[in-house]
Chains A and B, each alone.
Chain A
């Protein structure tokens, strides 16, 4: 909560499908009315597909959860141009 209060945006990251950690955080923030005050919130979870075999790194790239993609998410949530970044 403190974390949410002190920041303009909050992003969760987890190696799991929707319904996990990020969903619990969102539920709590919603219950506490934090979104009413305009917190920007994003949750990075595994996408809604079954990802085919590859190296784990490549699979996480497909999932959009590599460092560069996390970076892009941060910039996007702040509305900073993401030109030149792989999303």
Chain B
């Protein structure tokens, strides 16, 4: 958008610049901020829908609270682009997710306005509580505010934090940003509960109530803390779940209406004396029709044309590894009805949407709950099924104890399909699939495989189906395959056996996974130099079974 006019936004470099603006000006600022966010993401690609949903919330929080003294923590951090624009980073916003550019998530090293980095979900309440207690104990002063989505709220960690916060009773703000979306439509009983909350009390108009409270100022210094709390409670309906956890619940309110957000936040800031949950309803992709209309509400997008919303996508002549995995699994599942599939809130990302379409009863989206996904899979295996637990390498980290304690020690044949293995690009270090081989292969009795190309992946799915003696994992990268010929159907590989690809004499290169393509290039270059013989194998890795097994595994 070359004709993008943002006169008010142009005057804002830091949140302190919002303090002089009237509520009317803040409304205009929000509109400009939305336009600037759309314009920036059209150039960089990235997470669009979540940011558009919190434009007004971002403005309201920065207008009312005093960041960076107050610690504002965005859960996941994928919705923080408007926040970055308002916190001194507008000049670099068109470098989002690029090499040397701004991170697509919050990042401590990037700005004091990002007091706690994220990218994996559901950490924000724990972090906010930590800041609140640090302030209490004489550390950095300031309020702590967590903004967490309804998807992220479904994870166990969020509840662990609320449980602890309710117990500690420290002043703390949790803003539940409820857009009835995760990446896919959210699943589970919590989601149903939240929907019920606002079905029963549609949207609250808290304008008058909030103003009434403000009219009661100057409180509550002398006033009993209890009284302030009761007043806040009076604004709430329902929310019993949160109340039972020791939070004061307020809402639900319209998260796109600054006339409500501003007075409500001002009131809670003035009055809250314990943990406070503010339930805000928003719309993912708000204010940009192509995002609102998209299946994922513009969760993640490539670069796009602002007028039409059409995304620029590079053509490819090989299928993605994700798709190859999903199609192979569907093919295997046609022949074996014991096969079931588990995803933690990533049906599209893992390709399991294909499986879901074909076998809805055998596919489980458990929500953002990797720990549960792993233990649930373990018991599915113990119960005689063949579970394929499909997780990104980076998110499998969260379920590690479950891998060790529930799967490996019990030698249960859970099949781990580890997507996004290796370096992943624009999502950066937080999403790198760097550690899975190390933390999986050191477990006794597990088989770990890495596909070197998409045809091997087909065979590895078949291998995993056939391997019933214990856990087995196979990893594959993000992106497209190398374009090899595809087998009509997968054939189980012999565990522990490699493949000799070229023969040489002096140097042997053992490649594990998709670096094989680079290794082959290197080999060609070396051959051209002459004089350096080499050969390459792509072995499977059978990790520590009893000693002899291991040796056999390596012998190839």
Contacts and interface: CB of A to CB of B under 8 A. Distances in A.
Interface of A: 1-4, 6-25, 28, 32, 44, 46, 50-56, 58-60, 63, 65-68, 70-71, 74-75, 77-78, 80
Nearest to B104: A53
Contact of B423 (A8, A24, A60): A60
A78 B16 CA distance: 61
Interface stretch (B159-167, B168-176, B253-261, B505-513): B505-513
B521 to A, nearest CB: 4
Interface size class of B (residues with CB under 8 A): 35 or more
A19 B442 contact: yes
Interface in B374-423: 421-423
Contacts of A6: 505, 508
Contacts of B438: 16-20, 23
A75 B509 CA distance: 12
Nearest to B509: A11
Interface of B: 97-101, 103-104, 421-429, 432-439, 441-442, 450, 477-479, 504-515, 518-522, 525-526, 532, 534-535, 537, 541, 543, 550-551, 554-556
A10 B536 CA distance: 10
A59 B442 CA distance: 26
A64 to B, nearest CB: 11
Given A21-B441, A25-B554, A52-B429, A13 B423 contact: no
A21 B554 contact: no
Given A10-B510, A20-B441, A60-B423, 15 more contacts: A7-B504, A15-B422, A20-B512, A22-B512, A23-B438, A46-B432, A46-B434, A50-B432, A51-B429, A55-B426, A56-B422, A58-B99, A67-B519, A70-B515, A74-B509
A16 B507 contact: no
A67 B103 contact: no
A77 B507 CA distance: 9
B424 A56 contact: yes
Contacts of A80: 532
Contact of B437 (A8, A21, A53, A74): A21
Contact of B508 (A11, A18, A46): A11
Nearest to B550: A28
A15 B423 contact: yes
A23 B436 CA distance: 13
A55 B425 contact: yes
B429 A13 contact: no
Nearest to B424: A56
Nearest to A18: B438
B441 A70 contact: no
Contacts of B519: 13, 67, 70
B508 A75 contact: no
A55 to B, nearest CB: 6
A70 B477 CA distance: 19
A16 B422 contact: yes
A15 B477 contact: yes
Contact of A70 (B439, B522, B554): B522
Contact of A46 (B97, B423, B425, B550): B423
Contacts of A66: 518
Contact of B98 (A4, A11, A15, A53): A53
Contacts of A11: 507-510
A4 B99 CA distance: 39
25 contacts: A1-B554, A1-B555, A3-B508, A6-B508, A12-B510, A14-B512, A14-B513, A15-B423, A15-B514, A16-B435, A19-B439, A20-B438, A21-B437, A28-B554, A52-B429, A53-B98, A53-B428, A54-B100, A58-B99, A70-B519, A71-B522, A71-B526, A74-B509, A75-B526, A78-B507
Contacts of B511: 12-14
